[in-house]
Amino acid sequence: MKTKQSATVRRSVALPKELIDEVQTVAPVELRDNLNRLVIVALQDFAAKQKAYAFEEAMAQMAVDEQLQEESHAINEEFVVAEADGLADDAAR
């Protein structure tokens, strides 16, 4: 009989007592007594912030890319006529 592998990875970490005390003091009540859940939430938050930072960095690099700016300007020029397409000026009726 095969056993189903767990999707959980167990790791042992050593954390300073002062850090644990501080985190438990500022953590939401529902997480204060569940260090495992608190670490999971903290790591999820860390990953989300790193992804957001990477996205912001990529956008900042795109903002200063001259070739990309030229292409964006060219696309805008092509669609400037279509922006008002189908819109009627009430005063012209």
Helix, strand, coil percentages (3-state) for the chain, rounded to 5, are 70, 0, 30
Any domain includes 9: no
Domain enclosing residue 57, as ranges = 17-81
State the DSSP string of 37-51.
Answer: HHHHHHHHHHHHHHH
- Report the domain count for the chain: 1
Task: Evaluate if residue 5 carries a pLDDT over 70.
Answer: no
Any domain includes 90: no
Any domain includes 74: yes
pTM score, whole prediction: 0.63
> Which token pair is 28?
């939401």
Query: Quick one: average pLDDT of 15-31?
Result: 93
Tens-digit pLDDT profile for residues 46-86: 999 999 999 999 999 999 999 999 998 999 888 887 777 77
Any domain includes 93: no
pLDDT band at 3 (very low <50, low <70, confident <90, very high): low
Any domain includes 89: no
Give the number of C-alpha atoms closer than 13 A to the C-alpha of residue 42, restricted to the C-beta side: 15
